[in-house]
Structure 1
């Protein structure tokens, strides 16, 4: 029975419903001869006539009556569990969205994302955690993390999709009443100051550090810390200066104790992206989450863009920006996505 054709179950159920070979064939979109052939296959396989012509129509034998109930249940499971489009209802889901991001990315993403989810997925929760590159790919493949958000240049282009949200850059932060806070920093000033560095899982930190090193710019590093929040407290109470992502700098500068300062060079820009494993490309839960992220964070909603333009000049930003698109594994563009709704993406 291992080679049984499950399509024959449809023949069995349809004939039981109609009790007429012609109508059953029409119901299944088959020719009458094709339907009769399929019915004969069933009879031979089970060594039972299954349906007998009577004055009331094609009546099932006792064996057929036993089979029909099971056949309906099997076909129902196929329709709901295999053929039906998977559904995700954000309004009722109690899922936990698992996001990999560094603490600097949490400053950028979480406030707006949590407010949005409170309205559109009120029973869902969010768990954020950093992961080193050596563990990130395995965690996302296993479904332990839904998205990686931020700057992750090491993620394999063979198994991950990448969507750029917006471009970003860096700025310096120092105490608001720092002796250099009201002046434009020269390269000589920059090199004369004591510096603090953040050594976090955020790869953007490596990006600016390598840039400064390649430029041959010297920094006298007094402090290395893994946390941006502790950095803010230190900067506010010391003579130190730090070069940080612009969003992080703006966040700590809101208190008024820290001032955002243009460095004496045009810092590198980098793509802030969301990344997901190809295994979950068509998962409706993951699709919905990605759609919310791209809706909330994009070039049009980039709240740091105006400050970047005033600090470095709009022409430089336009010249170095790249068009936003989704990059697929292997470098090929993915098939066009369906429109995003509440339950389908």
Structure 2
């Protein structure tokens, strides 16, 4: 790799370009906000550095020598590249951007985040694409560092290292889903009945699932698991046709309940809560593209826009909401 001679002052390129454009020491000095004597000293340094007069006084002004003409062209290119590639503040224009935002989230989070986010992007970033999906916890940090993943959305307690930033969006919890007309529907669900019933559980990379499993272990509750599946999206069809119960994040359950074939019941205990956050690598903390996306997420998903507050209060009472706040 070639290096610039350490004795050369790159500021002298500005002197060269200014005089080449104006052909006048006075006007060139004014353009650079320099005194005329200071400019003349800088010009003298250039001449000494290259052993060439560089500029010669003529009736038409300070005329560049052949070497100076070649230098001026190159110097202007260098200054333009420095301005555009280093000094110019990068910007992200969502209205014209053609990019793909890559999001790491479980399918349970997609159900909550994607409809509202895509509606927003349709209006404000119509040419942007989105890809999302789950990723093993051990692979996620490297993917975010490399830029293969822009944001991780949901519950990711493993991303607490100094290499990552996180922003809380809201706090969430769980509910029990069963079919309409289930033998337990309309009754107070007890821990014994909950444990004895058949359950459909999701085994996926979602860390919120592990959080709930650990909670049950601490309470000594052992469910009768009939089905284990890696997908949340199949649960409504399964629960609708069986007497199985499914314990899932409240927001996802609320979405499923809107279909009209399943309903939500409070769990027979105060369920754990977890933080729903957005995570990003510190390498992209000041990146305009990342900043814009994070701003959208924060504006769309927060305590003020938490549409599940009322459902949680109906299931567990407002006391639990106050306890978590």
Q: TM-score, normalised by structure 1?
A: 0.89
What whole-Å deviation, never above 9, does each CA across 1:165-187 have from its counterpart, x for those lacking one? 11110000011110111112122
Aligned residue in 2 for 1:74: 78
* Number of aligned residues: 321
Equivalent position of 2:226 in the other structure: 222
Identify unmatched segments of 5+ residues in structure 2. none
Partners of 2:36 and 2:219 lie apart in 1 by 81
Distance 1:269 1:92 in 2: 40
- 1:61 paired residue among 57, 65, 69: 65
The residue correspondences of 1:228-243 to structure 2 (distance < 5 A) are 228-243=232-247
- Which residue in the other structure is 1:18 paired with? 22
Cα distance, 1:37 vs. partner? 2.4
Match of 1:337 in 2: none
1:47 CA displacement: 0.9
2:190 aligned with 1:186, yes or no?
yes
Q: Note the C-alpha offset of 1:74.
A: 1.6
Is the aligned partner of 1:2 residue 2:8? Answer: no
1:147-180 deviation digits (Å, cap 9, x = unpaired)? 1000000014210110111111000001111011
> How far is the alpha carbon of 1:5 from its aligned partner?
2.4
Unaligned runs of 5+ in 1: 322-345
Q: Secondary structure at the match of 2:233?
A: helix
- What is residue 267 of structure 1 aligned with on the other side? 271
What secondary structure is seen at the aligned counterpart in 1 of 2:62?
strand
Matched, 1:292 2:296: yes
Superimposed CA distance per residue, residues 11-42 of structure 1 (whole angstroms, 9 cap, x where no aligned partner): 01112233332332232122333322221221
- Of 309-318 and 242-251, more deviation after overlay is shown by 309-318
Q: What is the CA-CA distance between 1:190 and the residue it aligns to?
A: 1.4
Q: String of CA shifts for 1:177-232, please: whole Å, max 9, x gaps.
A: 10111112122221221222111111001111111111112311121111111222
1:44 to 48, 51, 73: 48
TM-score, normalised by the number of residues in structure 2: 0.95
